[in-house]
Amino acid sequence: MRIRPNWRHLPLLLAAAFSLFPMIFLFLNAFKKKSEIIKNPLGWPLRWTTDNFATAWEKGHYNVAYLNTVAVTGITVILMCVVCGLAAYGLTFMKTPGGGVFLAYLFVTMSMPIGFIPIFFMTVKLGLIDNYWGVIIPYVGGGFAFNVFLLRAFMIGIPKDLLESATVDGCNQARAFFAIILPLAKPAFTVVALFTTLSSWNEIFLSNAILQSDGMKTVSVAYLNFTSKYGTNWGLMAAGGVLTVIPMIMLFLSMTKKFVSGLQEGGVKF
């Protein structure tokens, strides 16, 4: 049987090339020597070298930056899942008085632009400049409304009978949350965790202003400094770029389906 090529793949592949080409180019340049990039900026490396990575890791202080980013991202993700999960539970399964009004209020705050300057002001006054909490609090607070809606949308689909039978059996609300809802709502929590990881790893708006000293910078912001310092050494900068994005690319590659389906659900429900 002859396979008939579908013409639709042609424009789709061109668009895929548009998406992938700049990234491939970054990866290839990371393996080239400085002298080679000048003669061959976009092509395949003639001689592969990994020197750039070692130098970039050292000169960009990536060990410190990685530690900072992992700490900030880790704490943010855990806190986000816990506080949003608890709130979504309280607003879905318990007859919390005023819950409906509160949800409407959250919805309104969601569409407003975040007040960067007031947050900056508060961070200064609370002495949280150069402190992880200076960015973690705004991250968790800023994502709270959206993630409560996302988790609630999922929890509404869980039958209430399950909970009622548990509470009749003498299970209290907190235990019901951890023993019944958490395992059942795991897919929704995964989506929250994934997108929170992504956004806090890549965030620069707040972290650039709040985590100021070199020892506190996250990788995304550290790369900004790195490029302004070594602006002419392209191999080094490409390697630094790869180091900055590689954890997120690994995460994306290992959980591609989850990302896409999470995005689809988010798009349909909001």
Partner 1 sequence: MAEVKKRSRLKNARGWLFVLPGLLFHIFAVAIPAVLSLYLPFTEWNGLSMPTFNGLDNFKQLFHDSIVGAAFLNNIKWALFWVTVPTLFAFFLAYLLNKIKRGQTVYQSIYFSTSIITVTVAGQIWLWLYNPFSGMNFYLDKAGVGFIDIPGLTIPSLSIFFVLIADMWKGFGGNVVWLLAAMTQNDKSLEEAAKIDGAGRFRIIWNIILPQLRPTLVIVTMLTVLNSFGAFEMVYVMTGGGPAHATETLSTYYYKLSTTGRQAGYGSMVALLQTFIAVVLIAVYGYLRKKKGWDV
Other CB atoms within a 10 A radius of the CB of residue 183 amount to 9
Q: Is 170 in the site for partner 1 (CB under 8 A)?
A: no
**Closer residue to partner 1 (CB): 62 or 241:** 241
H or E element, residue 182: helix 182-184
- Count of positions on this chain that bind partner 1 (CB under 8 A): 90
Tokens standing for residue 149: 């809606």
Q: Looking at the chain, how many residues does it have?
A: 270
Three-state DSSP class for residue 113: coil
Q: How many C-alpha atoms does 235 have within 13 Å on its Cβ side?
A: 20
Residue of the chain from 145, 155, 180, 216 that contacts partner 1 (CB under 8 A): 145
Residue numbers 46-75 binding partner 1 by CB under 8 A: none
Residue numbers 232-261 binding partner 1 by CB under 8 A: 234, 237, 241, 244-245, 248-249, 251-252, 256-257, 259-260
130 phi and psi angles, rounded to 5 deg: 60, 30
Stretch that binds partner 1, among 50-58, 137-145, 159-167, 183-191 (CB under 8 A): 137-145
Residue numbers 70-129 binding partner 1 by CB under 8 A: 79, 82-84, 86-87, 89-91, 94-97, 99, 102, 106, 109, 111-122, 124
DSSP-derived secondary structure letter, 179: I
Residue numbers 150-169 binding partner 1 by CB under 8 A: none
H or E element, residue 84: helix 62-92
Residue 191: CB minimum distance to partner 1, A: 13
